[in-house]
Amino acid sequence: MSQKVKFEGLPREMIALRVSREIKEGSYVNLGIGIPTLISNWTEGVDIVLQAEIGMLKTGSLAEGDDVDQDLINASCQAVTALPGSSYFDIVESFAMIRGGHIDIAVMGALQINARGDYAGWSNPSRGLFVGNVGGSMDLCAGAKKLFIAMEHTTKDGELKIVNELSYPATALGKVSMLFTDLAVIEITPKGMVLKEVMAGLTAKDIQSVTGPKLIIAKDLKEIEL
Amino acid sequence: MSQKVKFEGLPREMIALRVSREIKEGSYVNLGIGIPTLISNWTEGVDIVLQAEIGMLKTGSLAEGDDVDQDLINASCQAVTALPGSSYFDIVESFAMIRGGHIDIAVMGALQINARGDYAGWSNPSRGLFVGNVGGSMDLCAGAKKLFIAMEHTTKDGELKIVNELSYPATALGKVSMLFTDLAVIEITPKGMVLKEVMAGLTAKDIQSVTGPKLIIAKDLKEIEL
Amino acid sequence: MDKTFPSIEEAIADIKDGAVIAIPGFFACGVPRDLLKALIKKGTKNLTLACGCGPLVGAVDEMRALVKNNQVKKVIDSYGLSRSASKGMQEPFEQAVRAGKIELEVFPMGTMAEKYRAAGAGIPAFYTPTGVGSVFEESDVTNIESNRKPKETRMINGQKYVLEYALKPDYAFIHAIIGDKEGNLRYSKTARNFNHVMAMAARVTIAEVENLVEVGKLDGNDVQTPGVYVHRMIKVSRPQFAITID
Amino acid sequence: MDKTFPSIEEAIADIKDGAVIAIPGFFACGVPRDLLKALIKKGTKNLTLACGCGPLVGAVDEMRALVKNNQVKKVIDSYGLSRSASKGMQEPFEQAVRAGKIELEVFPMGTMAEKYRAAGAGIPAFYTPTGVGSVFEESDVTNIESNRKPKETRMINGQKYVLEYALKPDYAFIHAIIGDKEGNLRYSKTARNFNHVMAMAARVTIAEVENLVEVGKLDGNDVQTPGVYVHRMIKVSRPQFAITID
C-alpha cells in the first residue's frame, strides 16, 4: 500500500483544462470544490451551463468589487456573477434537478477511487469523526448522467489514491466513468480501468507504478494534449 | 333504507350562510364544488383566505366582462378575480399546502355520510363506472385540519344520505367533524352524531326520521340561526 | 443554447406511436392547445396521455379529434370524464372508456402532482395519506379490470399511508406565457398548474410560448421553470377558447 | 390577516427549551441572523437546530455564542463542520461534537431538502437513490453511536433506494428580502436556498424581512412563499457579514 514513487505531474489548472475538453457544448454541468471549480476558467465562451447546488443555473465568473452581492454566492461560498439567462430557484428544486437526472456531467474531487468506479471523497478518516461534511456530493453521484473525477494521482506524500479497495468511506459505488489526474486520463469500463492518456514524458509503466489496480492499456494510448 | 319522508329545507344559500358562521377569521379555507362554493358569497369583508387547488391563494369573486382572464380560473373552471395579497403557485405546491396540513378548513359536498365521519362523494355508482372524477377531494380530506360537509339532508327523492353504512365508494374515513344540511347542523363525535341545531319548525324527531344513524340530541339543541 | 424550433411540426417530429405524453392544464386553463393540434395533425397512434386535472375535459375539441382519429390508448387523470354524467354519456371518449377501448386510469389530483414531481426529482416512490380508506388504497383504479394491480400500504407513526410510484412521461407538452430561447419559462397566474411539474418530469419537454424573448430578458428571480428542464421551444399565438366545461 | 409582530422578542417569545428550530442559509447566504441573535439573547436551551448546508458554518459568530451559552443539544446538517479540518479543531462546536456533548446528525444535502419538503407536503416518507453504497444507507449518521438507528433499503425496478422520513421542525426562522404583512415572501437570488422549504415544513414559521410592504405590493405571480406558510413577520435591516467560511 505504501509505494512511495511520486512523479511531478501537471498543475491543477491543466487537469481542469483537460477535463473541460471532455464537456460537450450544450451540457449542464455541476463542478465540485477543488480542481473541478477551476474548470470554469476554461469554459468561457463555451456553450455550457454551470449549475450551483445552492440554487442557480448559469453561474458566471467570481464577483469582485462592486459586483459582489451577498445574496449571490456559489456552492463554495464565493461571490459570483450572473449571466444573461441565469436563473435562481430553491434548494428543493436544485436537488430535484440534480437527483432527477437533469445534470449532464458532475465533476468531483476524490480521496480514493477504485477500478469499479467506486470513490471516496466526503469524509477523511484522519479527521477522526464518524460524521462529516457530505454536502451535495452523494446527490450528484446519484443523479448526474456522467460522473467525472478530477484529482492528483497520488497524495502529497505519494500514497496511492487509485486503489484496489477503498479504505475511506465511500461516496458512491460504480458511478465514475472518467478519471482525470495530473498524470493520466483513465476511463472506467466494465472490464476495469483503461489508461487512455499519459502525461508527456511518462510511460504506461510509470503510471502503473503509482496506481493500485492493474491498468488496461488503450490501443491508442496517447499523451495528454493540452 | 327507503324511508320517503321529505321536509322542505333551507335553500342552498342558507346552508352556505350557516357554514360561513363556523369559519373563524384568520382561516385558510378550501371550498368544494356545489353548496360549498356558495359560502364565498357570505365571506366578503371577513378576514379569511380561500385556496383554489389549481394553484391560488386568496381568490376573489367571480369575474365578469373585462375582468375575465383566461389564465385566472378557480377549481370549478370559472373565471375569478384576484385580491390584494393573492398569490399563484404550481400544482405541486398547491397540494403540498393541502396535504401538508396548511389548510384550516375544507368544506365539501357529499352523497353519503355516516356517524363515524366517513363520507362518499367522489363517485356516484349510478354512472356505472368503476373510474370517476376524484379531483382533489381525497387530498383535502387527508390534509385539511377540519373537514366540513355541506349538503342536502336527503336526496331529491327522499333517499337517506346520512346512513349507517356507506353504499357508495368512500372518499375518506373518519375525517368529517361537522355536517351542515338544509335541515340540521350535526357534530360528529367519537360517540356518534350529535344533533346541535334544527331548522325552525322541525323537531329532533323529524330529523331522526330522515337520518339513518341514531342521533344524540345536544342538551342545548337549538334552531339554526341565520 | 438556442432551443427554438423552426416549426411545431419539427418540434414533435420524433414522437412515435405508443409514446406517453404529459398534458398539463386544469380544465380549460394552461392547456398546450397548439401542440395538441399538431399531434392531431401528425396522427400518432396508441398514445398514453398523462394528465392532471381534465385538460381534455377543458380542451374538448382536441380530445374529440384525438378520439375520432383513434390516437388514444390510455388517459391518466384525476378528472378525465365530463363533470355532467348525462353529457359524458354523449362523449366518444367516455363511450370508448365504457367499451374498454380506451383505458382511463385515475389517481387523486395531489397524488398525480406528486407522481410527476417524483419522476422529475429522482424519487422512485413515496408514501401518501391521500386515498387511504378508499379504493385508491386497494389497487390501481382503472376501467380495465385486469390492470387493477394491488397497492401497498404501510403504517408510519400509527397512521396508514399508500405507496405511490413516480410517473415519467416520454414527452411533456408545455404552455407558458413567456419563455427565452434557452428554455427559461414563466407562466400566467393559474395557467401554471401542471406545466412546471410536467416539464420536470418528462424525458423530452416541448414548450409552446406566447412570447418568445431573447436570453437575458427574463430576470433570474422571475424564472419559474429553469431552462434545464426544457428541450424544445416554439412560439405560438395566445389561444382562444371558452372558459367552461360540461 | 396582519402577521407582523411589534418586536423580534415577542415573535420568538413562546419558543421553549427543547424546541426543534429550522435554520436556513447556505453557508453565509440567506441566514436569519437577527432571529438567531434574538434566540441567543433569549437563552433558550436544549435546542435542536435543523439546518441544510452550514448556516452555522457561515454565521459562525452566532454559532459560537449559541455553543458558549450551552443552548444547543443537537445540529442536523449536511455540512455542519468547518471546511478546514485544522480550523474545525479550534471550534467549540466541533469540540463539543467530538466530546459527545452536542449531537451532530448528517444527511446528504438533497435528502435534507427532501425531508423538509416531505414534512411540509404531508409525505411521511420517500425513497431516494442518494447515499446508496455509503454509510448513509446503513444507519442514521450521527456522532452519538447509540442513536445510529438502522436504515431501510428497497429495490425498485432493479435499483436500490434508501427510505427516508419527513423532518418537521417546531419552528422555522426565515430570512427574505421582501414580504407583505400577510406573510407572502420573495427572496433575493441564491439567498432563497432553504428558506422556502423550511417555511413549508415548520409548525410555526417566523420570517424576518428586509423590506416589509403593504398587502398588494407583491404581484401574485412574484410571490415565492405564499403567506399560508408564514405565521409571524418582523422587519429587520439588511444584514452585514463576510462572504466566507473557514
pLDDT at D156 exceeding the cut of 50 = yes
Strands B28-31 and B49-52: parallel
Q: What is the mean pLDDT of residues C23-41?
A: 98
Nearest chain D Cα distance for residue A70, angstroms: 7
Nearest to A183 by CA among A209, A164, A157, A163: A209
**Region(s) of chain C under CATH 3.40.1080.10:** 17-107+168-235
Nearest to B95 by CA among C29, C117, D163: C117
Q: What CATH homologous superfamily does D17-107+168-235 map to?
A: Glutaconate Coenzyme A-transferase (3.40.1080.10)
Nearest chain D Cα distance for residue C77, angstroms: 21
DSSP-derived secondary structure for C66-84: HHHTT-EEEEEESS-S-SS
| Average pLDDT across chain B, whole number | 95
pLDDT score of A151: 97
Q: Tell me the per-residue pLDDT of A13-52, one tens digit each, with 9 for 90 and over.
A: 999 999 999 999 999 999 998 899 999 989 988 999 999 9
Nearest chain A Cα distance for residue D58, angstroms: 9
Nearest to A180 by CA among A153, A207, A159: A153
Task: Judge whether B53 counts as a catalytic residue.
Answer: yes
Q: Which helix (H) or strand (E) holds C50?
A: strand C47-50
pLDDT score of B5: 75
| Average pLDDT across chain D, whole number | 97
pLDDT score of B33: 87
Cα three-residue angle D158-D160-D165, rounded to 5 degrees: 135
From chain C residues 84-123, the ones with a CB under 8 A of any chain B CB are: 85, 88, 97-98, 104-111, 113-114, 116-117
- Nearest by CB to C109, from B129, B135, B143: name it: B135
Judged by a CB distance cut-off of 8 A, whether residue D162 touches chain B is no
pLDDT band at C160 (very low <50, low <70, confident <90, very high): very high
Which position among B8, B25, B44, B53 bears the catalytic label? B53
Task: Answer whether C202's CB lies under 8 Å from C168's CB.
Answer: yes
Q: Tell me the per-residue pLDDT of C172-223, one tens digit each, with 9 for 90 and over.
A: 999 999 999 999 999 999 999 999 999 999 999 999 999 999 999 999 999 9
Task: Answer whether A190's CB lies under 8 Å from A198's CB.
Answer: no
Q: Tell me the per-residue pLDDT of D12-51, one tens digit each, with 9 for 90 and over.
A: 999 999 999 999 999 999 999 999 999 999 999 999 999 9
- Nearest by CB to B97, from D215, D221, D228: name it: D228
pLDDT band at B2 (very low <50, low <70, confident <90, very high): very low
Judged by a CB distance cut-off of 8 A, whether residue B47 touches chain D is yes
Count CB neighbours of B81 within 10 A.
15
At residue D3, what is the residue type?
A: K
Task: Answer whether A177's CB lies under 8 Å from A206's CB.
Answer: no
pLDDT score of A226: 84
Task: Answer whether C174's CB lies under 8 Å from C207's CB.
Answer: yes
Q: Tell me the per-residue pLDDT of B127-158, one tens digit each, with 9 for 90 and over.
A: 999 999 999 999 999 999 999 999 999 999 99
From chain B residues 75-104, the ones with a CB under 8 A of any chain D CB are: 82, 84-89, 92-93, 95-103
What distance in Å separates the CA atoms of residue B19 and residue B12, rounded to the nearest whole number? 11
pLDDT at D3 exceeding the cut of 80 = yes
Among chain B residues, CA nearest to C225: B90
What distance in Å separates the CA atoms of residue B83 and residue A33, rounded to the nearest whole number? 46
Which position among A8, A13, A53, A152 bears the catalytic label? A53
A135 contact residues in D (CB cutoff 8 A): 53, 78-79, 108-109
Count CB neighbours of B177 within 10 A.
17
What distance in Å separates the CA atoms of residue C134 and residue C112, rounded to the nearest whole number? 16
Strands (DSSP E) contained in D15-136 are 20-22, 47-50, 72-77, 103-106, 125-128
pLDDT band at B225 (very low <50, low <70, confident <90, very high): confident
Count CB neighbours of B63 within 10 A.
18
Q: What is the mean pLDDT of residues B106-110?
A: 97
What distance in Å separates the CA atoms of residue D95 and residue B62, rounded to the nearest whole number? 61
A57 contact residues in C (CB cutoff 8 A): 226-228
Cα three-residue angle B166-B169-B171, rounded to 5 degrees: 95
C218 contact residues in A (CB cutoff 8 A): 85, 87
C115 contact residues in D (CB cutoff 8 A): none
Question: pLDDT in tens for each of the 226 residues of chain A?
Answer: 444 678 999 999 999 999 999 999 999 999 998 899 999 989 988 999 999 999 999 999 999 999 999 999 999 999 999 999 999 999 999 999 999 999 999 999 999 999 999 999 999 999 999 999 999 999 999 999 999 999 999 999 999 999 999 999 999 999 999 999 999 999 999 999 999 999 999 999 999 999 999 999 999 999 998 8
Structural domains in chain B, CATH included, are: 12-220 (3.40.1080.10)
pLDDT at B1 exceeding the cut of 60 = no
| The model's pTM | 0.98
Cα three-residue angle D199-D204-D207, rounded to 5 degrees: 55
pLDDT at D160 exceeding the cut of 50 = yes
Nearest chain B Cα distance for residue D184, angstroms: 7
D229 contact residues in B (CB cutoff 8 A): 97, 102
Q: Which of the residues D130, D145, D167, D225 would you substitute to probe the A interface, choosing the one with the greatest number of A C-beta atoms within 10 Å? A: D130
CA distances from B88 to C125, D73, D204 (A): 27, 39, 22
Judged by a CB distance cut-off of 8 A, whether residue B44 touches chain D is no
**Beta-carbon contacts of residue D232 (< 8 Å; ≥ 6 apart):** D3, D4, D5, D11, D204, D205, D206, D207
Q: Tell me the per-residue pLDDT of D94-132, one tens digit each, with 9 for 90 and over.
A: 999 999 999 999 999 999 999 999 999 999 999 999 999
Among chain D residues, CA nearest to B28: D228
pLDDT score of A2: 47
| Chain A touching partners, 3 or more CB pairs below 8 A | C, D
B98 contact residues in D (CB cutoff 8 A): 122
What distance in Å separates the CA atoms of residue B107 and residue B180, rounded to the nearest whole number? 10
What distance in Å separates the CA atoms of residue D110 and residue A136, rounded to the nearest whole number? 6
Report phi then psi at A73, rounded to 5: -130, 165
Judged by a CB distance cut-off of 8 A, whether residue A107 touches chain D is no
- Nearest by CB to D122, from C124, C129, C187: name it: C129
Cell 411521511 sits on residue: D124
Interface contact A71-D188, CB threshold 8 A: yes
pLDDT score of D102: 98
**Beta-carbon contacts of residue D153 (< 8 Å; ≥ 6 apart):** D132, D137, D160, D161, D162, D163
Judged by a CB distance cut-off of 8 A, whether residue D6 touches chain C is no
What distance in Å separates the CA atoms of residue C55 and residue C62, rounded to the nearest whole number? 10
Judged by a CB distance cut-off of 8 A, whether residue C228 touches chain A is yes
pLDDT band at D89 (very low <50, low <70, confident <90, very high): very high
